[in-house]
Amino acid sequence: MTTLQPAPARSGDPLSGNPLSATPPAALLTGPWGSARIVSVGAVLPAHGIAHADQLLHPGEPTDFDPVAVLGRKGTRYKDRATLLGVAAAAQALDAAAVDRTVPRSDIGLLVASCYGNLSAVCENAELIDRAGVSSLSPLALPNASSNVVATEISIRRKLQGVVLTVCNGHASGWAALRWGMSLLSAGRSSSVLVVAVEAPSPHEQQLRGAAAPLVDGAVAVLLTARDAPAVPVRSPGGAPGDETPLPGHELAAVHGLLVIARAAARARETGSAVTCGGGPGEGDWAVLP
User: pLDDT for 119-147, tens place per residue?
Assistant: 888 888 888 888 888 878 888 777 888 88
Position 82 pLDDT exceeds 90: yes
SS3 84: helix
How far is Cα 49 from Cα 64, in angstroms, rounded to an integer? Answer: 9
8 A C-beta contact, residue 168 and residue 176 = no
| Mean pLDDT within 207-229 | 88
- Per-residue pLDDT band at 23 (split at 50, 70, 90): very low
What angle (nearest 5°) sits at the alpha carbon of residue 90, between those of residues 243 and 97? Answer: 90
CB 63 within 8 A of CB 50: no
Supply the mean pLDDT for the chain.
84
| Mean pLDDT within 148-162 | 94
Cα–Cα distance for residue pair 96/266, rounded to 1 Å: 14
> 6 vs 64, 114, 212, CA distance in Å?
12, 23, 32
Give strand pairing partners of 167.
Answer: 113
27 pLDDT higher than 90 = no
Q: Would you give the distance in Å from CA 28 to the centre of its chain?
A: 18
Q: How confident is the model at residue 67 (pLDDT cuts 50, 70, 90)?
A: confident
When pLDDT is averaged across residues 78-94 and rounded to a whole number, the result is 94
From the list 143, 154, 263, the residue with the least C-alpha distance to 198 is 154
pLDDT at 235 over 80: no
What's the one-letter identity of residue 78? Y
